[in-house]
Chains A and B, each alone.
Chain A
Amino acid sequence: METKSRTFLMVPYYLWMVLFVVAPIALVGYYSFFDIQGNFTLANYQNFFSGTYLSLTLSSFWYAFLITVFTLLIAYPTAYWITKTKQKQLWLLLIIIPSWINLLLKTYAFIGIFGMNGSINNVLTFLGLERQQILYTDFSFIFVSVYIFIPFMILPIFNALDKLNPGLVDASNDLGASQWVTFRKVIWPLTVGGVKAGIQATFIPALSLFMITRLIAGNKVITLGTAIEQQFLVTQNWGMGSTIAVFLIVFMVIIMILTGDREKGGNQRGNY
C-alpha cells in the first residue's frame, strides 16, 4: 500500500522525466538521420565529417578553451582573496549579484561600450588615438564571454577554498614550504574539484553560445551553438541541426567524464 501511493505521487515526476529528459534526447538522435525532405540518410554525418563542420568544431573548441582559461585565471585569485576577507559571504554575494542580472542586458551594454561611437572609442579619441573596430572582433567576443562566466567560475572555487582547512596551509608554511610550493602542493590539489566544477560550468556553455556570437561577434565567430541555431531556426534543416546537437551532447558527456570529480560528492550524499 505504502509504496503504491508513493509511486502514484511520483507520476508527474516520472512523466516529466520521460517526456522532457529521455524523449528529447531520443528525438534529437532520431532526427539526425533525416535530410531536409524527411528521407532517411546518413548524409548529415558524412557532412559533419567533411571540412566545414570539423573546422567549425575545432574553432568552437578553441574559443571555448580560451574563454575557460581566461575565466579561470581571473576567477581563482578572486575566489581565493574573497575567502581571506573578513566579510566573505558579503563579498561573495556582491560578486554573484551581477550573474542574476539578465544576460541579454549585460551583453547589450557591451554593444554600447565597444561600439564605433562607444565609450572606449571616445576615450581613444580623447587620448588622440584613432577609433578602433572593437565590436564584431574575436577580442570582444572573448571579453564579453569571460565577463559573463566569471561569477559561475568563482562560486564553485570559492566553495572549495572555503572548505579547505587553514591548518594545512599553516602546517605547510611552518614546515618551510614557500608560498608557491604551498599553493602547488596543498591548496591547488585540495581545491581542484571546485576548479573542475567551474570548468564544467564554463566550457560546455561556451561551446554552445549563440546569442553573444550574434550580438557581439557579428557573424565572425561561429560556435557549435550558433550552427545549431542556424540550422534549426534559419535554414530549417532540423536533420543537420540535430546531427550537430548529437555531437555537442557527445562532447558534453566526454567533458563531464573528464571533469567528473563530483560523482564522489553525489554518492556521499546518496548514502543518507
Chain B
Amino acid sequence: MGTTSKLAKLYLALVFIILYAPIFYLIFYSFNSAGNMSNFEGFTWEHYAAVFEDTRLLSIVVNTIIVALLSALISTAIGVLGAVGIVYITNKRLRQSLLSLNNVLIVSPDVIIGASFLILFTMIGVKLGFASVLISHIAFSVPIVVIMVLPKLQEMSSTLVDAARDLGASRRDVFTRVIVPYIRPGIFAGFFLALTYSLDDFAVTFFVTGNGFATLSVEIYSMARAGITLTINALSGLLFIVTLILVLGYYFVANRAKTPFQAGVPK
C-alpha cells in the first residue's frame, strides 16, 4: 500500500504541476523587462502599467464585465422562472421534452451556437455588437441556471407551499417568500456559473461580435494572433487573481449551502 500511495502522490503532483505550469509561466514572464517570453532579464511592473494605460483595453474589460453581469442577472431571472414552471408541469412527457430541449445549448459545440445565432441575428435584424453579444450570453446561460435550480425545487416539499397558501399567502408571496428563499443556493450557483460562462466565452462571441465591439477573450485572440505581447501576460496575472476570488467565493457559497456540486451529501 505504501508504494502505491507514493506513486499516487507523485502522479497527482505531476498532473498538478502540468496543469498549473502554463498559468504561472504566463504570470512569471509578465514581470520580464525584456519584453519576451523566453529570457527573463529583470523585474518590472511596466506591463501592468501598460494594461492600466491602455484605455481601449480597459474599456474592453469594462464591456466584458458589463456583459457578464447583465447576462448573468437576466438569464438567472429567466432560468428561475423556467425551472419553477417546469417543476409544476404534471405531464411527464412534456416535462421530459422541455428538459431535453433545455439541455441542447449545453451540449452543443460553441461553433454551432455561434454560427446559428449569427444567422438568427442577421435574419431578425439585430445589429452585431453589444446587443447581439449580450443576447447570446443570456441565451447560453439560461439552461445552466435551470439545471442548478431544478434539484433544489425538486427536493422542496410541496407541503411548504400548501401551508403558505392555507395560511393565506398570495401566489406572489408564496413565490417570493417561500420558494425563492428555499432555492436561493441554487439561484446563487446558477448566477455564478452564468457569470463564468460569460466571462470565459470566446467562440460564440467571436461569431456574433461584429467589428466595433469586443470582449476580453476576443481581444486576447486577436492580440495572440499578432504575436507575443507581455500586456497579455500582465492581464493574465490580474485575471488569475480575479478568477481565484470568484472560485473561492463560489465554493464558499456552494459549501455553505450544499448545492448540487456537493453531490455526496447524505440526506
Interface residues of A (CB under 8 A from B): 2, 5-7, 9-10, 12-13, 16-17, 19-25, 27-28, 31, 74, 77-78, 81-82, 84-85, 91, 93-95, 97-98, 100-113, 115, 117-119, 122, 147, 150-151, 159, 162-163, 200, 204-205, 207-208, 210-211, 214-215, 224-225, 228-229, 232-233, 238, 241-242, 245, 248-249, 252, 256, 266-267, 269-270, 272
Contact = CB atoms under 8 A, between A and B. Distances in A.
Interface string B210-228: 0000001100110011001
B125 interface: no
A232 B202 contact: no
Interface in B18-42: 18-20, 22-23, 25-26, 29, 36-39
Given A84-B5, A256-B107, A113 B25 contact: yes
A26 to B, nearest CB: 9
Contacts of B224: 104, 107-108, 111, 215
B8 interface: yes
Contacts of A106: 22-23
A19 B38 contact: no
Contacts of A205: 109-110
Contacts, number: 235
12 contacts: A12-B82, A13-B146, A24-B120, A78-B11, A103-B217, A111-B224, A147-B19, A163-B263, A238-B119, A248-B111, A252-B112, A272-B154
Contacts of A272: 154-155
A257 to B, nearest CB: 12
A249 B109 CA distance: 9
Given A100-B243, A248-B112, 14 more contacts: A16-B138, A16-B139, A95-B19, A97-B243, A102-B199, A111-B228, A113-B25, A115-B228, A117-B38, A122-B38, A208-B109, A232-B118, A252-B108, A252-B109
B122 to A, nearest CB: 9
B198 to A, nearest CB: 12
B228 A112 contact: yes
B29 A100 contact: no
